[in-house]
Amino acid sequence: MQIAGEMIIGHQAVMGREGFIKAVDPARNAEIEPGFGLASRAELERACALAAGAFDAYRETGLEERARFLEAIAQNILDLGPALIERAMAESGLPQARLEGERGRTVNQLRLFAKVVRDGHWIGATLDAALPQRVPPRADLRLRKIAVGPVAVFGASNFPLAFSVAGGDTASALAAGCPVVVKAHPAHLGTSELVAKAVQKAAIGCAMPEGVFSMLIGAGVQIGQDLVSHPAIKSVGFTGSRHGGLALMRIAAQRKEPIPVYAEMASINPVFLLPGALADDAAKLAQAYVDSLTLGSGQFCTNPGLLLGIDSPELAQFAAAVAAALPAKVGSTMLTPGIHQSYTAGVERLAGQNGVQLLAQGQPGPGACAAQAAVYQCDADTFLRTAALEDENFGPSSLLVRCRDADDLLRIAEHVEGQLSATLHARAGDRDLAARLLPVLERKAGRILFNGFPTGVEVAHAMVHGGPFPSTSDPRSTSVGASAIDRFLRPVCYQDVPAELLPPALSSANPLGLTRLIDGTLHPA
Return the active site residues.
264, 301
Q: Are 162 and 168 in contact (CB under 8 A)?
A: yes
Size of the site for a second copy (CB under 8 A): 82
Nearest residue (CB) to a second copy, 511 versus 524: 524
Between residue 492 and residue 511, which ones bind a second copy under the rule CB under 8 A?
492-498, 500-501
The single residue among 308, 448, 505, 512 that binds a second copy, judged by CB under 8 A, is 448
- Residue 405 CB, shortest distance to a second copy, in Å, is 21
By the rule CB under 8 A, 172 interacts with a second copy: no
Asked if 72 interacts with a second copy (CB under 8 A), we say no
Question: With respect to a second copy, which residue has the nearer C-beta, 170 or 483?
Answer: 483
Q: Rounded CA gap, 134 and 356, in Å?
A: 71
Applying CB under 8 A, does 479 fall inside the site for a second copy? Answer: no
How far is 160 from 188, CA to CA, in rounded Å? 6
Least distance in angstroms from the C-beta of 500 to a second copy:
7
Q: Which stretch binds a second copy (CB under 8 A): 78-86, 199-207, 309-317, 464-472?
A: 464-472
Residues for the chain: how many in total?
525
Q: Cα separation of 467 and 375, whole Å?
A: 25
Selection from 252, 156, 250 nearest residue 479 by Cα: 156
Give the whole-angstrom CA distance, residue 220 versus residue 224.
Answer: 8
Which range touches a second copy (CB under 8 A), out of 4-12, 132-140, 166-174, 192-200? 132-140
> Exactly one of 65, 313, 450, 513 binds a second copy (CB under 8 A); which one?
450
What are the DSSP calls for 195-239, one per residue?
Answer: HHHHHHHHHHHTTPPTTSEEEE--SSSHHHHHHHH-TT--EEEEE
Q: Does 442 bind a second copy (CB under 8 A)?
A: yes
* Binder of a second copy out of 81, 231, 491, 513 (CB under 8 A): 491
Here's the x/- map for a second copy, 149-168, by CB under 8 A: it reads as x-------------------
The least distance separating a second copy from the CB of residue 95, rounded to whole angstroms, comes to 16
Nearest to 499 by CA among 130, 66, 123: 130
CB 214 within 8 A of CB 8: yes
Pick the binder of a second copy from 143, 295, 350, 380 (CB under 8 A): 143
Strand residue runs (E) in 250-381: 261-264, 270-273, 306-310, 357-361, 374-379
Least CB distance to a second copy at residue 146 (A): 6
The nearest distance, CB 147 to a second copy, in angstroms, is 10
Least separation in angstroms between CB 382 and a second copy: 22
Evaluate whether 7 touches 50 at the Cβ level (below 8 Å): no
- Out of 30, 83, 345, 460, the residue judged to bind a second copy by CB under 8 A: 460
Q: Hey, which residues does 445 pair with through a beta bridge?
A: 419
Residue 495 CB coordination number (10 Å): 12
Nearer to a second copy, 178 or 370 (CB): 178
What residues contact 152, with CB distance under 8 A and at least 6 apart?
180, 181, 182, 183, 224, 227, 228, 230, 233, 235, 236, 237
- Minimum distance, C-beta of residue 258 to a second copy, in the bound complex (Å): 6
Cβ closest to a second copy, residue 339 vs residue 480: 480
Instruction: Tell me: does residue 464 bind a second copy (CB under 8 A).
Output: yes
By the rule CB under 8 A, 240 interacts with a second copy: no
Q: Given candidates 244, 338, 475, 504, which one binds a second copy under the rule CB under 8 A?
A: 475
Can you tell me which of 62, 220, 231, 258 binds a second copy, judged by CB under 8 A?
A: 258
Other beta carbons within 10 Å of 268: 24
For residues 298 and 362, what is the distance between their CA atoms, to the nearest angstrom?
Answer: 12
- Candidates 5, 168, 218, 446: give the one binding a second copy (CB under 8 A): 446
Residues 6+ apart with CB under 8 A from 435: none
Q: Which residues contact 366 (CB under 8 A, 6 or more apart)?
A: 330, 331
Only segment of 81-89, 279-287, 379-387, 459-467 that touches a second copy (CB under 8 A): 459-467
Residues 412-441 that bind a second copy (CB under 8 A): 417-418, 426, 431, 434-435, 438-440
